[in-house]
Structure 1
Amino acid sequence: MSTEIPEVIDAATVPGWPASVESVDVLVVGFGIAGGSAALEAARAGARVVLLERAATPGGTTAMAGGHFYLGGGTAVQQACGIEDSAEEMEKYLLAIAADGLPTGTDVDPETAAKIHAYCTDSVEHFDWVESLGITFERSFFPGKAVIQPGTEGVMFTGNEKVYPFRDVAKPAPRGHKVPKPGDTGGAVMVIEALADQLEQTNAEIRYETGASNLVVEDGRVVGVAWRRFDERGYLRARSVIITAGGFVGNAEMVAEHVPLLGSGKLFPLASTYDDGLGLRLGKSVGAEWRGMDKGFQTAPFYPPSILMTGIIVNKRGRRFAPEDSYHSRMSAFVLEQDDSEAYLIVDSEHIEMPSMPLTPFLDGYDTVEEMADGIGVPFDALEQTLNDYNKHAAAGEDPEFHKYHDWIAPQDKAPWGVIDLRLGKAMYAGFTMGGMRVDLDGRVQRADGSVIEGLYAGGACAVNIAQDAKGYCSGMQLGEGSYFGRRAGKHAAGAR
């Protein structure tokens, strides 16, 4: 694949421009969750909309998702389940998790803070909008710790809300709303199908197997695209262009340049065919700033079962380095930061169970700590001290070193011990890119100086909004913010006509 930036086409060089070139109000490039939401809102606002999708069917990478939306503030599901939440507490949490990835003492930038505030303030309304598409979230709560609800339960904890230090900053509340489809994949297809059904009731036109290859510019403003469908070529004029064409995890050259860990051959890319970075490169061609290009999401969950979180995770020095009850991508990010990305989950015979997903293999069982240290190649003295210190405090229900939540504190002192392998190259890590174009609250693409590129918007994996790294990610942010900020971009673009 290419890292080349597409050529910008001057409208004056297009034959028949403008009179002989088809014209629309809003042109959306890519039909995933963000593009579908943008197109629907623009069409409902009265704009003439065309949606281009390179694949033969809608969905993009969205179609691979399990179907979580990270929403709160008192949704109908939360209220039905007796869960107390507010936009203010949700905002506190998201601000804290965003600040956690910054250097100590650094505040969340005003642009991100404004997006978090809007997302939380509008969260209940956005939940209602998702249900208005024809999706009804089950009014039920899954109390366990899992990657995704095993059944059709409507909400569960899908972030670090109960993990230290965030539980001390904001009152924890479950916000991971899942569409009513059992299992961990395919749920988001329901959302895409619902969006497609709703779009059929508008004047929006969807053109499959058609992609944008270049942006067309006139007097510094984006005014359309060059498109391609098999051997056909053409142009479309548009008052506003919204790029929602996915990330770049499927582009090996871009990954190697910006986030090489994802291209090491030791992680499985969570990509659709068209996660090739073309959308980002189109934006770059007209001066868009790229942000967070070195950030990726990577994970190899060792839970469920949640009882495994009572164990301890140690690095090659035999030391713990993070609370084991962290959200799975946060824990994985800590693992990958260790020397040689090496870590092991140790659980005693009273708590050991096999992981439900075959991503983190069972390494072996050991009758003594000395045998275990020798077997996994860590210093015996350090491992023995780590276990003794943890067990001493766990017996009193405490974890003064990493403050693991009390539900997951239990002594690990009953031999034999089982070891689950979390090492990169042994555990099956998967991931995707999180970098994208800089956009304002309404999705308008920005240059490095903060100025807006007139006529151009971006959303979904093409843009950087709230979710910016693996440690701060919550399941449901991609669908949640993708649809929310996609809606905002669609409305704003329609208003610009």
Structure 2
Amino acid sequence: MTTTPELLRESQIAAWNDIADVIVIGYGIAGACAALEARRAGADVLVIERASGGGGASALSAGIFYLGGGTAVQKAVGYDDTPEDMFKFLMASTGAPDARMVRRFCDDAAAHFDWLEAQGVPFERTYYKDKAVIAPTSDCLASTGNEKAWPYYTFAKPVPRGHKVAKEGDGGGALAMNALIARCADEGVRVATDSQVTALVRDDAGRIMGVRVRQTSGPVHLRARRGVILAAGGFGMNKELMRQYAPRLPETAEALGIPHNDGAALMLGLSAGAATQAMGGTIATSSFYPPGELIKGIVVNKRGERFVAEDSYHGRTAEHIAEQPDAAAWLILDSEIFAYPQIQHRLVDGWDTVAEMEVGLKLPPGSLQKTMAEYNTAAAQGRDPLWNKHPDWVKPLDKGPYAAFDLSYTSSTYRYLTLGGIRTTAESEVIGEDGLIIPGFYAAGACVSSIPQDGKGYASGLSLGPGSYYGRVAGINAARATLNS
């Protein structure tokens, strides 16, 4: 669904095929959490899911939740975190426009972890100390953002906040979704699968109070007595929308997610007059680490210049690479730290001298030699005055021979998620283009723009963390909303 669907009027509906207090569109992490909380608030809840079962893109994820403020895991492994430090870091790093949304999330993050665990989502009381995109072990806590990167460590004490579901390596998202879906079933949440919402229904007062659904047997109309919650994913699989909203993202990048992340949720929101924000925001990644020793190398562009601190979160580095001429970059290593990146990047070649490497990479004469000389001089003193890479990752690159890996978008597979979407309040209410709340309409998850605005400010877990939390907020508020006539 790329075109904006019709917004139906209540008078156009001859008869309702079913009625619920709260209708939830989508059964990923946000939808499941919304449905469960609405049901617990006493509402009759009906979930509408396009696929043949729940899970969505959340079930394909690593299962990392960005949470802090003193979670049970942080305390167990010896990290002292506060909601205030978490708030300061997220406000400084993510570009979030709504401080109230960030504040609420940070204040409730530790309790939200407890809630997730109480639903059967498994977490260990362990810490993964090495540098990795996804911990290969079942360890829970890890640094998954830019907390230790300059300038963010000057705003708040750097503390790890990525909480991974207890599963070795990738795939923890499925465990989380299985637990939440089972709890929804136990508590009486109704679910209609193989069903796609094709239009919203609004009453004469401007309230969203129903949906039109396409099923194999034909269209049906479902009424929501209290509210409709939109939680049906992002738009990364829709190339037309990506060209429209994120034209700077190189065409060679590939979307992460499921086929239903095609923008249908966004289009439904737009049909109701919803405002959007951060529509060009994406988080792309093709990390050059692990192994962590590679962070001691430097990354240069076609001008032979460094442009980012190499110890930045991999999404931040990827965003900076996308901004370079031809989205091209190389990782430069000496023999002391040479290793192959775990994620496949092409080894260009090896050279005995920096001058030969400069020629081999077709960089401007003298450019790489100048960059390396300046970096090595400062690194010998344990400093990086240009980009303030943490001293733990600073060393002179003076042990030839030298090697270069191609990190360019045209040479490596960069995969991305969209971060832009519908604008909501800290109560998960959908905001209209006129700045007013659209009554009866709530949204959460990947179809909204919540805290991270782009890849430079993203941290792993800032999709599942806020998505699950604000899904809960949407469910509670929809269940408590005034009955429509």
Q: In the alignment, residue 14 of structure 1 is paired with which amino acid? A: I
1:314 is aligned, of 285, 300, 305, to: 300
Q: Match of 2:88?
A: 92
For residues 99-178 of structure 1, the aligned pairs below 5 Å read 99=95, 109=97, 112-178=98-164
1:268 is aligned, of 251, 254, 277, to: 254
- Tell me the CA shift for residue 10 of structure 1: 1.2
1:361-403 deviation per Cα after TM superposition (whole angstroms, max 9, x unaligned) = 2221111111101111112412111111111111111111111
Q: In the alignment, residue 478 of structure 2 is paired with which amino acid? A: A
For residues 18-29 of structure 1, the aligned pairs below 5 Å read 20-29=16-25
- Tell me the CA shift for residue 447 of structure 1: 1.0
Q: In the alignment, residue 290 of structure 1 is paired with which amino acid? A: T
| Corresponding position: 1:205 with 2:190 | yes
Q: Match of 1:40?
A: 36
| Corresponding position: 1:226 with 2:219 | no
For residues 423-462 of structure 1, the aligned pairs below 5 Å read 423-462=408-447
- Tell me the CA shift for residue 261 of structure 1: 4.1
- Tell me the CA shift for residue 25 of structure 1: 0.5
- The answer to whether the 8 Å contact 1:138/1:180 transfers is yes
Q: Following the alignment from structure 1 to structure 2, what is the Cα–Cα distance between the partners of residues 231 and 419?
A: 58
TM-score normalized by the length of structure 2: 0.97
| Corresponding position: 1:59 with 2:55 | yes
- Tell me the CA shift for residue 200 of structure 1: 1.3
Q: Following the alignment from structure 2 to structure 1, what is the Cα–Cα distance between the partners of residues 210 and 445?
A: 20
- Tell me the CA shift for residue 39 of structure 1: 0.3
Q: Following the alignment from structure 2 to structure 1, what is the Cα–Cα distance between the partners of residues 122 and 233?
A: 27
Q: In the alignment, residue 295 of structure 1 is paired with which amino acid? A: G
Bigger shift: residues 31-40 or 127-136: 127-136
Q: Match of 2:76?
A: 80
Q: Match of 2:26?
A: 30
| Corresponding position: 1:412 with 2:408 | no
Q: Following the alignment from structure 1 to structure 2, what is the Cα–Cα distance between the partners of residues 424 and 98?
A: 23
- The answer to whether the 8 Å contact 1:91/1:116 transfers is yes
| Corresponding position: 1:282 with 2:268 | yes
Q: Following the alignment from structure 2 to structure 1, what is the Cα–Cα distance between the partners of residues 4 and 383?
A: 54
Q: Match of 2:235?
A: 248
Q: Match of 1:377?
A: 362
> Helix, strand or coil: the match of 2:375?
helix
- Tell me the CA shift for residue 449 of structure 1: 2.6
- The answer to whether the 8 Å contact 2:328/2:410 transfers is no
Q: Following the alignment from structure 1 to structure 2, what is the Cα–Cα distance between the partners of residues 82 and 51?
A: 40
Q: In the alignment, residue 408 of structure 2 is paired with which amino acid? A: R
Q: Following the alignment from structure 2 to structure 1, what is the Cα–Cα distance between the partners of residues 48 and 164?
A: 28
- Tell me the CA shift for residue 221 of structure 1: 1.0
Which ranges in structure 2 are unaligned for 5 or more consecutive residues? Answer: none
- Tell me the CA shift for residue 217 of structure 1: 1.0
Q: Following the alignment from structure 1 to structure 2, what is the Cα–Cα distance between the partners of residues 270 and 22?
A: 34
Q: Following the alignment from structure 1 to structure 2, what is the Cα–Cα distance between the partners of residues 273 and 394?
A: 47
Q: Following the alignment from structure 1 to structure 2, what is the Cα–Cα distance between the partners of residues 422 and 271?
A: 23
Q: In the alignment, residue 312 of structure 1 is paired with which amino acid? A: I
> Helix, strand or coil: the match of 2:126?
coil
| Corresponding position: 1:386 with 2:371 | yes
| Corresponding position: 1:368 with 2:353 | yes
- Tell me the CA shift for residue 292 of structure 1: 1.3
Q: In the alignment, residue 425 of structure 1 is paired with which amino acid? A: T
Q: In the alignment, residue 14 of structure 2 is paired with which amino acid? A: P
1:437-458 deviation per Cα after TM superposition (whole angstroms, max 9, x unaligned) = 1111111111123201111111
- Tell me the CA shift for residue 134 of structure 1: 1.0
| Corresponding position: 1:465 with 2:444 | no
Q: In the alignment, residue 48 of structure 2 is paired with which amino acid? A: L
> Helix, strand or coil: the match of 1:471?
helix
1:324 is aligned, of 310, 325, 330, to: 310
Q: How many residues align?
A: 480
Percent identity (aligned): 44
- The answer to whether the 8 Å contact 1:251/1:276 transfers is yes
Q: Match of 1:104?
A: none
Q: Following the alignment from structure 2 to structure 1, what is the Cα–Cα distance between the partners of residues 376 and 427?
A: 51
Q: In the alignment, residue 22 of structure 1 is paired with which amino acid? A: D
Q: In the alignment, residue 240 of structure 2 is paired with which amino acid? A: E
1:225-263 deviation per Cα after TM superposition (whole angstroms, max 9, x unaligned) = 00111242110000210010111111121111111244x
- The answer to whether the 8 Å contact 1:318/1:383 transfers is yes
Q: In the alignment, residue 9 of structure 2 is paired with which amino acid? A: D
Bigger shift: residues 52-61 or 469-478: 52-61
Q: Following the alignment from structure 1 to structure 2, what is the Cα–Cα distance between the partners of residues 351 and 298?
A: 26
- The answer to whether the 8 Å contact 1:369/1:380 transfers is no
- Tell me the CA shift for residue 271 of structure 1: 2.5
| Corresponding position: 1:352 with 2:348 | no
Q: Following the alignment from structure 2 to structure 1, what is the Cα–Cα distance between the partners of residues 318 and 122?
A: 32
2:406 is aligned, of 394, 406, 421, to: 421
- The answer to whether the 8 Å contact 1:145/1:306 transfers is yes
- Tell me the CA shift for residue 179 of structure 1: 0.4
Q: Match of 1:102?
A: none
Q: Runs of at least 4 residues of structure 1 off by over 3 A?
A: none
- Tell me the CA shift for residue 195 of structure 1: 0.6
